Each structure stands twice: as C-alpha cells, then as structure tokens.
Amino acid sequence: MKKLEFVLIALTVFAFGCHKQNDSRIHVREGVASDTLGSNIVTRPVTHAFSALIGEGIEVAKAVTRRNDAGFLELYVNGYNKSYDTKRFRYRVEWLDADGIVIETKTSVWLPMSAMGKSPFTIKSVAPRPQAVDFRMDTRKWE
Amino acid sequence: MKTKVLFLMVFVCLLAAGCSQETKMIDTMHDEGKAVMALDYRDFDMAASKMVQSMLASGSLKKPDGGRYVVATGRIINDTTQRIDTDQLMVKIETEILNSGQAVMTSAVGSGTDKLLHETRELRDSEEFDPNTVAKRQTLIAPELTISGKIFQRNIRYDRNTQQIEYYFQLMLSDVKSGLRFWQDETLIGKRGSNRSVSWQ
C-alpha cells in the first residue's frame, strides 16, 4: 500500500517536473495550459486557500516614464497579480513639476483597474501638461 | 394636562429631528459612495480623464509648424434617457486642452459660443460707444479643429432581476479645412444592477 502512495507522489512530482515554461511574453491561463500545482484539480483548493491565507495581491514590478512626441510625460506601470483571484482596484496618478509641486488637473481622478489572477498587467497614464517631470501614484480598493 | 401636552409635543419634535436624514458634503476627492445606475460625476470625471489622456497621447493637438491650434466645440449629442448637460463632460476636456498649451478654444462659434462676442460687434454703428474700443471687422479667428461627439446608452436585460446599462462616450477631433479626422476614441462605462433601479432622471 505504501509503495502505491510512493509511486503516486513520485508520478505527480515527475509530471510537474516535466512542465515546460512558456515564452514569458505569452500568458497561457489556467484551464488552457497544462496543470500546475495551482491549477491541478487535486492540489488547487490547497494552493488557492494558502494564497488567500497569506494575502497575496498586486505587486508592482517597474514604473517607466518617457516623453512622447507631443512633449507629454507618459507613465507605464508594470505589475503582477500574485493572487489567484481577479483584483479590482482604483488608482490615481498625480503629476509633479520640476519643483516637486503637484500640477492640478482634471485627469487626476480615481480610475478603475482590473488584473486577472496570476497575470501581469500594465497601467498607462499621460500627463496633460508638458511641465510634468515626475509622478506619484496611489491605489485603493474598488468599493 | 398642559404639561402633558407640552411634554408630548417636545417628545414628538425630538423624535422627528432624530429621524431626519442628515445632509453631508460629498468627498469628491475620495468618494467611497456606492455606484448608481445613472451617470454621476464620477463617471464624467473618468470619461473625461481617459479621453483627454488619449487625445494628448495621440499628438493630434501638436501643430506641425509650431503655434497653437484654434479648436471649436461642436455638437455633443445626448442620446441617453437622462437629462444631461453635455458641458459636464466637455468643460473638463476643454479645460485640459487649454491648459495643455497646445491649443486654444474659441468662443466665437460652436456650442461654446459667447453671444456677447457678436452683440458687442453690433455696437459699431452706435454713437454711444467710442469706435476705437469696438472690435473691428475680420478680427475673429476661425477654428482649425472641431470636437464633436455623442453619449448614448444601451439597456440590456441581464437576467430576471438584473439589468445592464452600457454608457458609451464617443468623441472625435476633425480638421475644418480638409474634413479629415485626426483623433477619435470611445469610453465605455457599464453598470449592472437591480431591474427596479431607474437610469432616467
């Protein structure tokens, strides 16, 4: 009996070990891609529960700014939703001038954003004034 | 007897005051109020913000030979069941176009026309006004670009108790001389709620 258990575990580990990593630019979702520990019908409840227990959520990987051809600063925030659930949140970008003072604009309002579970996301924002040289961004829960 | 009546009246007054809904100012910077089926100021803020960012990022307001474009606001059609003053959207967009430093808005023609611009020109023949202070002929500048658009809604029965309302904000920027469209975009705001909620006001 113990032998059978050992074989089953070995097979499972072996199967996950053979799992090929896709090209990082292509995201193959759960149900489409081959099973992983997080998507396998047996292990999924445990991994999802563990993810919720430790409170996995959004992580921001990089914020890139560049000045576009029209002379406005563009912001690209790249992040990843570590949770298994879709995370809905709001964000607001404020633009700062060379003195670090906030530029008051009608575009600095709370905007909705949604990132699917275990997926990368990008937020794009454009400064409406050419004087903007920096930014600050805030997030809050989607009520 | 009198004391009893007085006591009763005071008690009723206090009870009525306690039941009245207190008026509160909305924190428009961080409003955590529930979403409503109709369009509210948050929807207009969101639509205007997205439209302005899209327009500026496109570079369509940047004049190739320098200088600033003269932009007129055309017709914004309200094809929803709500009584919307489309200025609620357009004033935000016009403000940002002006503040971007790339274009100026005109009050001479279009939906943002200032009637006084034309009325003051009718004073040319008046003997009451110093002719040097009255605007001369051919001094108004014609617009080079126009912004026009539409707000419309679709009501969809989602299930027995739920309705889905889709609000579409569409704007376009066209060149007056050539008639070519330089930019256009659409923002969708979708709401799902009880069938008993009404979206018309």
CATH number at residue B101: 3.40.50
Query: Touching check for B189 and chain A: CB below 8 Å?
Result: no
pLDDT score, position A48: 82
User: pLDDT at position B56, please?
Assistant: 94
B188 at the A interface (CB within 8 A)?
no
Higher pLDDT, A72 or A3: A72
Report yes or no: B53 at the A interface, CB cutoff 8 Å: yes
Sign of CA dihedral B53, B54, B55, B57: positive
Residue B67 banded pLDDT, cuts 50, 70, 90: very high
> Between these two residues, A10 and B81, which has the higher pLDDT value?
B81
pLDDT, average across residues B56-70: 93
Alpha-carbon gap, residue B199 to B163, rounded angstroms = 10
- pLDDT tens per residue, range A27-75: 888 788 888 777 788 888 888 888 888 888 899 999 999 999 999 999 9
Least reliable range by pLDDT among A17-21, A79-83, B108-112: A17-21
Cα dihedral value B51, B52, B58, B60, nearest 10: 110
- Residue A82 pLDDT > 80, yes or no? yes
Interface of chain A toward chain B, CB-CB under 8 angstroms: 68-72, 74, 105-112, 125-126, 128-130, 140, 143
Measured between CB atoms, does B36 come within 8 Å of chain A? Answer: no
> Which one of B36, B44, B56, B188 would you mutate to disrupt binding with A, by most A Cβ within 10 Å of its Cβ?
B56
Q: Do B53 and A128 touch (CB under 8 A)?
A: yes
Higher pLDDT pick, B169 / B19: B169
B130-185: pLDDT as tens digits: 999 999 999 999 999 999 999 999 999 999 999 999 999 999 999 999 999 999 99
User: Which residues of B fall within a CB distance of 8 Å from A125?
Assistant: 53
Residue B155 is predicted with a pLDDT of: 94
CA distance B180 to chain A (A): 20
Which site among B31, B53, B102, B189 would you substitute to test the A interface, given the most A Cβ atoms closer than 10 Å to its Cβ?
A: B53
Strands A102-103 and A111-115: unpaired
Taking CB atoms and an 8 Å limit, are B59 and A68 in contact across chains? yes
Residue whose tokens read 């790339």: B102
pLDDT attached to residue B21? 77
DSSP-assigned letter for residue A104:
P
Contact check, Cβ <8 Å, A71/B62 = yes
Q: How confident is the model at residue B16 (pLDDT cuts 50, 70, 90)?
A: low
Q: Residue A26 — pLDDT band, cuts 50, 70, 90?
A: confident
The count of structural domains within chain B is 1
Give pLDDT tens digits for A12-24: 555 555 556 668 7
Cβ–Cβ gap A70/B59 under 8 Å: yes
Structural domains for chain A = 1-55 (no CATH), 56-143 (2.60.40.3230)
Whether the Cβ atoms of residue A113 and residue B85 lie closer than 8 Å to each other: no
> Which range among A91-105, B3-17, B77-91, B129-143 shows the weakest confidence by mean pLDDT?
B3-17
Q: Given a cut of 70, is residue A119 above it in pLDDT?
A: yes
Instruction: Report the C-alpha gap between A115 and A96 in whole angstroms.
Output: 27
Q: Give me the percent of chain B exceeding a pLDDT of 90.
A: 73
B117 touches chain A (CB under 8 A): no
Q: What pLDDT is stored for residue B15 in this prediction?
A: 65
Both tokens assigned to A67? 């000045």
Q: Which residues span the domain enclosing B135?
A: 39-151
Q: What is the pLDDT of residue B199?
A: 64
Task: Flag whether B138 is in a domain.
Answer: yes
- What global pTM score does this model have? 0.82
Asked if residue B34 belongs to a domain, the reply is no
pLDDT at residue B197, rounded to an integer = 75
Task: Please give the average per-residue pLDDT across A72-93, as a whole number.
Answer: 95
Which two tokens mark B153? 């809604």
CB nearest to B45's CB, from A68, A69, A109:
A109
Determine the pLDDT at residue B29.
85
Report yes or no on B22 lying in a domain.
Answer: no
Q: Quick check: B84 and B121 in contact, CB under 8 A?
A: no
pLDDT surpasses 60 at A80? yes
- Mean pLDDT for the stretch of residues A117-125: 94
Range ranked top by mean pLDDT from A44-53, B4-13, B104-113: B104-113
Nearest alpha-carbon partner for B142 in B115, B108, B119: B108
Question: Out of A68, A109, A111, whose CB is closest to B57?
Answer: A68
**Would you call B45 and A129 a contact, using CB atoms and an 8 Å cutoff?**
no
Quick one: closest CA in B to A130, which residue? B100
Quote the pLDDT of residue A7: 62
Mean confidence (pLDDT) of chain B? 90
Angle B87-100/B41-58 helices, nearest 10 degrees? 40
Q: What is the sign, positive or negative, of the torsion defined by CA atoms of A78, A82, A88, A90?
A: negative
CB-CB contact of B56 with A71 (8 Å): no
Chain B residues with CB inside 8 Å of A129's CB? Answer: 99-101
Q: Is residue B193 part of a domain?
A: no
In one-letter notation, the amino acid at residue A128 is: P
| Among A82, A142, A71, CA closest to A116 | A82
How far apart CA B79 and CA B167 sit, in angstroms, is: 10
Q: Are A59 and A79 in contact (CB under 8 A)?
A: yes
Secondary structure (DSSP) of chain A:
-HHHHHHHHHHHHHHHHTPPPPPTTS-PPTTTSPP-TTTSTTTHHHHHHHHHHTT--EEEEEEEEEE-TTS-EEEEEEEEE-SSSPEEEEEEEEEE-TTSPEEP-TT-S-EEEEE-TTEEEEEEEE-SSTT--EEEEEEEE--
Q: Give Rg (Cα) of chain B.
A: 25
Shortest CB distance from B56 goes to which of A109, A110, A128?
A128
> Searching chain B, which residue's CA lies closest to the CA of residue A107?
B49
Task: Report yes or no on B14 lying in a domain.
Answer: no
pLDDT digits (tens, 9 = 90+) for A90-110: 999 999 999 999 999 999 999
Looking at residue B201, its pLDDT comes to 58
The contacts of residue A37 (CB under 8 Å, 6+ apart) are A16, A43, A47
Q: Which of A91, A92, A106, A129 to substitute to test the interface with B, most B CBs within 10 Å?
A: A106
pLDDT of residue A75: 97
Q: Which among B152, B154, B148 is positioned nearest to B168, based on CA atoms? A: B152
